[in-house]
Amino acid sequence: MATNTGNTLFAGLSGRLRMSTAPGNAGSPMDLPLIVALHGGTYTSAYFDLPNYSLLDRAAALGIPILAVDRPGYEGSPALYGEDASIQGHARFLTDALQEAFVKYGSATKGIVLIGHSIGAAIATSIAAEPGDLPILGLAISGVGLHTPEALATQFAASPEAHTMDFPVPLKDQVMFGPEGSFHPGMPQASHPANGPALRREVLDINLVWPRDVRKIASTVTVPVHYRQAEGDRLWIVNDEEVHSFAAAFTHSPRVDAALLRNTGHCMDFHRIAAALQVQQLGFALQCAAESV
């Protein structure tokens, strides 16, 4: 299993990967997907690769090739500006960039399964909605929804105009984590190596633009969808009806597996539920590849 962390992966983007050097435990390489994981705002690709919480390690154990990309403006990836820095701008850039990634890393696989969290989930959904020639097999998303709390949107909209926003770590930990007991001792501190900047344009977009456009974007996704939302998510309005309505927006997806996860917070990958969530996402990815003809 080849491992790469923090170096340039493709199209000038940094990130980390696990690439199998032999047929995976799941079967022939042609039964496998290439997973591309997109982190949310204020985190880097390390979000998916913290010790004991690593989606990359779990994928590697199954022999599934996986890339976790530092989105533009994070870690070693060049920033985007203006309209290109919007959620849709990131999606357009990554749709083009993933053409190179698939040729370089995925040519022996069935296609790409996107895994996205939070703003990364919105970007992944937008890529799946307009994939161009990308062989997208499925979409697994978490930490995203239909509506954000009005008070949050107002607060972010009033922030000073700048490329990045001030998001103090103690406040961030309070927002990103669920109730006491939903995460192990050592968290949230153990998540801090994954911290990144808060890019103002995408934070405004997810609060002000995404709620307006999400149903239209979701309605054009034509691949299977796996969706999980946290009961204790402080960044979204969360209840059973919201989860059902979000899932129902994917009107052209052949199947949507949606659920509300109890006793966890926004960054589910850092909570006690992490292993269960990630195993479900990897199983979904394998199913998408196996069902592809």
| pLDDT tens digits, one per residue of 57-73 | 999 999 999 999 999 99
Instruction: Please answer whether residues 185 and 151 qualify as being in contact, where contact means their C-beta atoms are separated by less than 8 angstroms.
Output: no
User: Residue 163's pLDDT band (boundaries 50, 70, 90)?
Assistant: confident
Compute the distance between CA of residue 289 and CA of residue 293 in angstroms, rounded to an integer: 8
* % of the chain with per-residue pLDDT over 70: 95
Residue 289 tokens, joined: 């590849």
Contacts of 61 (CB under 8 A, 6+ apart): 25
Q: Tell me the pLDDT of the chain averaged across its residues.
A: 94
From 143, 165, 132, 129, select the one nearest 48 (Cα to Cα).
143
- In the predicted model, is pLDDT for residue 111 greater than 60? yes
Residue 210 tokens, joined: 């995404």
pLDDT in the model for residue 26:
53
Residue 67 tokens, joined: 């890339």
- In the predicted model, is pLDDT for residue 254 greater than 70? yes
pTM of the model: 0.95
| pLDDT tens digits, one per residue of 69-97 | 999 999 999 999 999 999 999 999 999 99
Q: What is the CATH superfamily name and number for domain 2-291?
A: Alpha/Beta hydrolase fold, catalytic domain (3.40.50.1820)
Give SS3 for 270: helix
Query: Is residue 136 within a helix (H) or strand (E), and if so which, with residue range?
Result: strand 136-142
Instruction: Please answer whether residues 139 and 123 qualify as being in contact, where contact means their C-beta atoms are separated by less than 8 angstroms.
Output: no
Instruction: Please answer whether residues 122 and 146 qualify as being in contact, where contact means their C-beta atoms are separated by less than 8 angstroms.
Output: no
Residue 249 φ then ψ, to 5°: -70, -20
CA distances from 126 to 81, 90, 144, 221, 240 (A): 18, 9, 13, 8, 24
pLDDT in the model for residue 245:
98
Residue 136 φ then ψ, to 5°: -75, 125
- Domain residue spans of the chain: 2-291
